[in-house]
Amino acid sequence: MKPRTTEQWSALGFVTPSVLGLGLFTLFPVGAAVVMSFFAWPMLGTREFVGLENFRYLLGEDPDFLTALRNTFVFTGLYVPLNLLLALGLAFWINRSRWARLWRVLFFVPAITPMVANAVIWKLLFQAVGGEPNLLADGRTALLAVVAMSVWQGFGYNMIVFSAAVNEMSPSVLEAASLDGATGLRRLVSVQLPLISPALFFAATMTMINALQVFTQPYILTAGGPGNATETLVMNVYQAGFESRDLGLAAAGAWLLFAIILVVTAVQFLGQKRWVHYES
Amino acid sequence: MRMRRSVLLALGLAGMMVSAACGGGGSGTSGGARDSGGTVTLDWEMWAGSEDEKAQLDHLAALVTRKHPTIKVNLRTAPFNDYFTKLQTEFAAGKQPCVVSMQSLRLGAYADLLEPLDGKTDTQGFAPAALETLKLGGKQLALPYDLASMLLYYNKDAFAEAGVAEPKNGWTVADFEQAAKKLSTGGKAGFGMSFADLHSLSLMLSYNGAQPVTPDVRLQFDSAPMVDALTWYAGLAASKAALVPASSSDVGWGETQFVNGNAMMAVDGSWNIGSAVKDATFAVGFAPLPAGSGGSKTYLAASGFGVAKGCPYPQEAAKAVSVLAGPDAQAYLAGQGRSFPSRTDQQATYEEFLVKQDPRNAEAVRGAIASLKEGLAGGVPLFTTKNWDSVGKLMAQYLIQVYTGDQSPKSALGTIQQQSARGQ
């Protein structure tokens, strides 16, 4: 055998498992979901082609879908900035602290403990705090309570990312800036943030995608209630699929969510040219 | 060129594996098999939470083979919380078991998938209410192995301390309200509210006979009696006599607050008699639900075994179900303290188990069983629609808004009715 052929065969050997995995567990279900979204596809019973009916129902008739969409956007609009600000602030503070390593571990703990356990503990906390009605039972505060819990759970990951980026800021650039007289806010906005802008971009994009897919926190804390005050898009999909057993409707909802995430992420990628600076 | 061929090969391989993975479910019948010796092996799916429970069920499976040597039962279990998700996935994939364990509240969703048992099994010896509870549209879809009614659980110590007379048969809704108000002191509440179907709807049923589902299984949440009943129920919170659930995800609120000592009364199912007596740090009393205009009433619930449509051996499956819900099986389960039997002859065995388990509370347990039997007299099956899961979710989301005073009973019930009309 010629060396090139051997190389090709081993390359194939390395690639095949992940191609198979991707095909079986990602591409095939994604394709199947597209097909399903055009069918009335009850989990139990016979399926029937209905064209765009599922999409029409979701956007026109479903009493919950548009509310879920609004709730998801409100959640994302609150959660992403709060998460990033908190993570960023703590990352800067921690890097000056003597106990930097200890703080990093402590603040990272919520991010690696199971979400369900965190949500259950927070639910008990909200119950213990009490109030009439409880924060989770009041339509005006329930979503805010979910955001608060989510920020606590989620900022640790971004903090580690920012903390690493802050550590890596080029000392020569910082020194040049201080020789030029840049201090305080000026130094932060014009020098430090641009230096860590790739990390900011990464964190903002990933956090946004996660936020649009929020499910576990409202599912455990409020079950979508009171009313539909905390119902999110993924909860709507779950409800359609596993409570109404209408898989076609669930697939259609999932595709709409996918489209939204795709657009939001695309906008972020287009926008990065304006503010993200990569060291060349 | 060669590279392209390799890629094609890889894609072909991937394609083959995909089609192999998808094609597996297609092969005809499922849930049972006959071997060359003529012995039929039937799959039986049941919920079980522990090895002990599994062992009990294995014992029942063995009873079937003892009675019918040519029938073997192959037990498959899942934890209760996953059971119905697993079952519906199996039905969807055509891999359902022949013998299906079923709860009365889920009957609506599975009615079209179960073989009616009328005329195929012997229904002698069952409490009529238990059989009725597992019927839908006049068809017997499963044979019950247990039976439950809803009871008023109360904190005997708190009643004594507040000088309030304990509930007894004939206790009215007015008595109940008065007691709840008197017991609401020092941060504790007289009653723990609920939005769970059996727990909240049973008390509303007893109040004025209001029913959310018609006898021909259509939803009527927005009917006038339902509005009146919910107005009364929510009034308990408005008059500070009851604890409102802390969130729509607190499905077991009332009974949990009761056992924790925060609510002095709660409605709970007879299946928790043993655990409440054991877990509570106070003396627990039991009474039938307070009587409204038509006397004390409660919804009943039952679990049992049915035969899946499409089972290749329906006759053998019906025989197996008869043994699994038969007198020997129920006597065994009652002796293990599993639940209150659906067969009248075996019910005393269960009472004796509870008494023996906790002799100090013998009186409470006997009172509870008496109340349970009393409840069966005024008991009504809660028929459920196909989309009852969604209805339960809507009740959790919207009833809580009525309890907190954010929405009127009429508007909340209207919302539930309107949103669950699709797919009932």
**In a 3-state reduction of DSSP, which class is residue B71?**
strand
Q: Flag whether the ipTM exceeds 0.90.
A: no
Please report the number of interchain residue pairs, chain A to chain B, with beta-carbon separation below 8 angstroms. Answer: 127
Structure tokens at B253: 């609120």
pLDDT given at position A9: 92
Break chain A into its structural domains and give their ranges.
57-259
pLDDT given at position B14: 45
What is the spatial distance between Cα A165 and Cα A189, in angstroms, rounded to a whole number?
15
Q: Give per-residue burial for A222-243: e unless 16+ CB within 10 Å, then b.
A: bbbbbbbbbbbbbbbbbbbbbb
What does residue B378 show for φ and ψ, rounded to 5 degrees?
-100, 25
Closest residue on chain B to A235 (Cα): B393
Q: Averaged over A258-269, what is the pLDDT?
A: 95
* pLDDT tens column, A151-186: 999 999 999 999 999 998 989 999 999 899 888 888
Q: Averaged over A211-220, what is the pLDDT?
A: 96
Residue A280 — pLDDT band, cuts 50, 70, 90?
A: low
The angle subtended at Cα B30 by Cα B24 and Cα B31, nearest 5°, is 130
Identify all chain B residues contacting A8, using CB atoms and an 8 Å cutoff. 2-3, 6
What is the spatial distance between Cα A2 and Cα A152, in angstroms, rounded to a whole number?
58
Q: Are strands A48-49 and A39-40 parallel, antiparallel or unpaired?
A: antiparallel
C-alpha pair distances (Å), B45 with each of A38, A43, A227, B331: 33, 19, 36, 21
* Beta carbons within 8 Å of A8's beta carbon, 6+ residues apart: B2, B3, B6
Class of A57-259 in CATH: mainly alpha
Residue identified by tokens 């595709």 is A255
What is the spatial distance between Cα A198 and Cα B205, in angstroms, rounded to a whole number?
62
Q: Which of B13, B85, B398 shows the shortest C-beta gap to A227? A: B398
Neighbours of A10 (CB within 10 A): 10
Is B404 within 8 Å of chain A by CB? yes
What is the spatial distance between Cα B129 and Cα B378, in angstroms, rounded to a whole number?
10
Quick one: what percent of chain A has pLDDT higher than 90? Answer: 74
Please indicate whether, in this complex, the C-beta atoms of A223 and B396 are within 8 angstroms of each other: yes
Structure tokens at B421: 């009309």
pLDDT given at position A1: 54
Identify all chain B residues contacting A127, using CB atoms and an 8 Å cutoff. 246-247
Is B85 within 8 Å of chain A by CB? yes
Structure tokens at A190: 């014009």
Class of B32-147+302-357 in CATH: alpha beta
DSSP 8-state symbol, B123: -
Identify all chain B residues contacting A139, using CB atoms and an 8 Å cutoff. 401, 406
Is B82 within 8 Å of chain A by CB? no
Q: Which of A15, A138, A239 shows the shortest C-beta gap to B393? A: A239
What is the spatial distance between Cα A47 and Cα A43, in angstroms, rounded to a whole number?
9
pLDDT given at position B359: 84
The pLDDT tens digits along chain B (424 residues) read 444 555 444 444 444 444 444 433 333 357 888 888 889 999 999 999 889 899 999 999 999 999 999 999 999 999 988 899 899 889 888 899 999 999 999 998 899 899 999 989 888 999 999 999 999 888 999 999 999 999 999 999 999 999 999 998 789 999 999 999 999 988 899 999 999 999 999 999 999 999 999 988 899 999 999 999 999 999 999 999 999 999 999 999 999 999 999 999 999 999 898 888 888 999 999 999 999 988 999 999 999 999 999 899 999 999 999 999 999 999 999 988 888 999 999 999 999 988 888 788 888 888 888 888 888 888 899 989 989 989 999 999 999 999 999 999 999 999 999 999 887 8
Q: Which of A136, A228, A243 shows the shortest C-beta gap to B397? A: A228
Please indicate whether, in this complex, the C-beta atoms of B393 and A28 are within 8 angstroms of each other: no
pLDDT given at position A69: 96
Residue identified by tokens 């609510």 is B263
Q: Which of A44, A126, A219 shows the shortest C-beta gap to B88? A: A44
* Helices assigned H by DSSP within B270-408: 273-279, 314-324, 327-335, 347-357, 362-377, 388-403
What does residue A80 show for φ and ψ, rounded to 5 degrees?
-65, -50
CA dihedral A33, A34, A39, A44 (to 10 degrees): -10
DSSP characters over A121-141: HHHHHHHHH-TTTTGGGSTTT
Q: Which CATH architecture fits B150-300+387-419?
A: 3-Layer(aba) Sandwich (3.40)
Structure tokens at B78: 């899942």
Write the single-letter amino acid at B341: P
Break chain B into its structural domains and give their ranges.
32-147+302-357, 150-300+387-419
**In a 3-state reduction of DSSP, which class is residue A190?**
helix
What is the spatial distance between Cα A277 and Cα B273, in angstroms, rounded to a whole number?
67
